[in-house]
A and B are shown apart, each in its own frame.
Chain A
């Protein structure tokens, strides 16, 4: 995690709780990652995944490219990015309200219904932003 990230231990604990709660109610989700804008992992579930540092960097890259693309075509801000794969999907949502800016990445299996996931993820994102603003 970035040493300079202004997230207190208490907030971090609350964020992890939110991620854990989401994973519990959405069994097809196998990784949730909250990353700083510049690619550091803030919180993750499960916390012990060895790949999270690298995935955090990749998520921020893809988020940044997505933002650039939206600016280039004049579609204002990127809200979410969905990558569908043979074995599942990734949803990356930018969290723009709180500072510092972050993004939330969710990795799910193929069985998860995308529409339902998007609704749930947006709800989670709102909860996370509320927690960050608190």
Chain B
């Protein structure tokens, strides 16, 4: 394995579950840059990430995969590009209960399709009420507006297997895009 950082970026608006997602898979306690949120009127969360969340996957052959969680608020958008540069892929997490979820989707998709043009991107939508899962149809319509085709899954990042589903889809897209790689099958 050649030198250089291997990283997966978790992006999305505040409260979408980026820190939780990283915590669910990281092999080390993630480094957090969360501070007190002074804008409770806009976001009813006590803490907010102002730089990066940082976790790691420590593989047995010594390879380390870095997991970065970007700050969600727009004023920290400079961090999105810094984090996404050269990433293996981007996991975009959205809060399905947010009134602005479709606008968030447009915003983040525009940015990350631009800064991470050749990296796979998958979308996980959390906090959908039971019976609301069909709203993914609406999100697909938004994605089509931007002329891209990316996976959108209904997930709950509190469950490790859901975060793994998102990572697996990134890996499968990479694998399918590289015809020289034969699949490992049982």
Contacts and interface: CB of A to CB of B under 8 A. Distances in A.
A and B touch in the complex (CB under 8 A): yes
A39 B41 contact: no
Contact of B41 (A3, A36, A37): A3
Contacts of B35: 37-38, 60, 64, 101
Interface in A1-26: 2-5
A58 interface: yes
Interface in B138-170: none
A65 B40 contact: no
Interface of A: 2-5, 36-40, 53-54, 56-58, 60-62, 64-65, 67-68, 72, 100-101
Given A3-B41, A101-B35, A65 B52 contact: yes
Contacts of B63: none
B36 A64 contact: no
B50 A38 contact: yes
B7 to A, nearest CB: 16
Contacts of B78: 54, 57-58
A2 B38 contact: yes
A38 to B, nearest CB: 5
18 contacts: A4-B38, A4-B40, A5-B38, A36-B38, A37-B50, A38-B36, A38-B39, A54-B75, A54-B78, A56-B75, A58-B78, A61-B79, A64-B33, A64-B35, A64-B50, A68-B32, A68-B54, A100-B36
Tell me the interface secondary structure of chain B in the complex. Answer: loop
A3 B40 CA distance: 9
Contact of B37 (A38, A54, A56, A101): A38
Nearest to A2: B38
Nearest to A62: B51
A40 B35 CA distance: 12
Contacts of B71: 61
B18 to A, nearest CB: 15
B64 interface: no
B31 interface: yes
A69 B75 CA distance: 22
Contacts of B76: 39, 57, 61
B19 interface: no
A2 B41 CA distance: 10
Top 5 closest A-B pairs, CB basis?
Answer: A64-B33, A61-B51, A37-B35, A57-B75, A2-B38
Contacts of B56: none
Nearest to A67: B33
A20 to B, nearest CB: 24
Given A38-B35, A38-B48, A64-B51, 10 more contacts: A4-B38, A5-B38, A39-B73, A40-B39, A54-B78, A61-B76, A68-B31, A68-B33, A68-B54, A100-B36
A80 B126 CA distance: 39
Given A54-B75, A68-B33, A39 B40 contact: no
| Residue of A4, A57, A67, A100 with most partner-chain B CB within 10 A | A57
Nearest to B34: A64
